[in-house]
A and B are shown apart, each in its own frame.
Chain A
Amino acid sequence: KAGVTQTPRYLIKTRGQQVTLSCSPISGHRSVSWYQQTPGQGLQFLFEYFSETQRNKGNFPGRFSGRQFSNSRSEMNVSTLELGDSALYLCASSLGDRVAGYTFGSGTRLTVV
């Protein structure tokens, strides 16, 4: 079956711009989570959506936002980009129950210049 699909794979943006990243989860998965990975901070949780509702949020500024659509696809948006937002952004999907494992996509590598 198809895995988690993230688009685009690579992105270069200028400081101050905004960006939208997309994630299509595995069919039947209702939970989508987003993570940021940088060399300095490692993998950090951004937020999780389940059935179109945000049910968990990490410690990131309000410039980072997301949403989930009725077909479980999710987008995350970063406004007013800063150089420090350069990172690998990973999306993970799961069934959303108590013990389900997460399947990660290959990520979107965002470079802010």
Chain B
Amino acid sequence: DAKTTQPPSMDCAEGRAANLPCNHSTISGNEYVYWYRQIHSQGPQYIIHGLKNNETNEMASLIITEDRKSSTLILPHATLRDTAVYYCIVRAQTLTGTASKLTFGTGTRLQVTL
């Protein structure tokens, strides 16, 4: 699986957009980009994933660059409850189509403040 690079920490004011970057310059054509977050002492929570196109759901938006070498997770209106560690993961699919493991890096610790 391709390796990802994320800043270790970021701050964001409540109500503002939080933009979390991720670099995955060695991503392969069949690898998806996934984002998870982990709030202290809980299991990771799935946020969003994408292959090439930008994606949006009720939690966040995912912007993937045209060359797919980097992406940005956007939380449009961050709240205190969004304080967590955010993991960007690229996930390979085998030729048989079976799902592969998730390889977690160290993630970005997002602190949302008043």
Contacts and interface: CB of A to CB of B under 8 A. Distances in A.
Interface of A: 4, 31, 33, 35, 42-45, 48, 50, 55-56, 58, 88, 90, 92, 94, 96-107
Given A90-B43, A102-B46, A106-B42, A97 B102 contact: no
Contacts of B105: 42
Contact of B97 (A48, A56, A58, A98): A98
Contacts, number: 60
A101 B97 contact: no
Contact of A101 (B34, B98, B104, B106): B34
Interface of B: 32, 34, 41-46, 49, 87, 93, 97-106
Contact of B43 (A48, A101, A107): A107
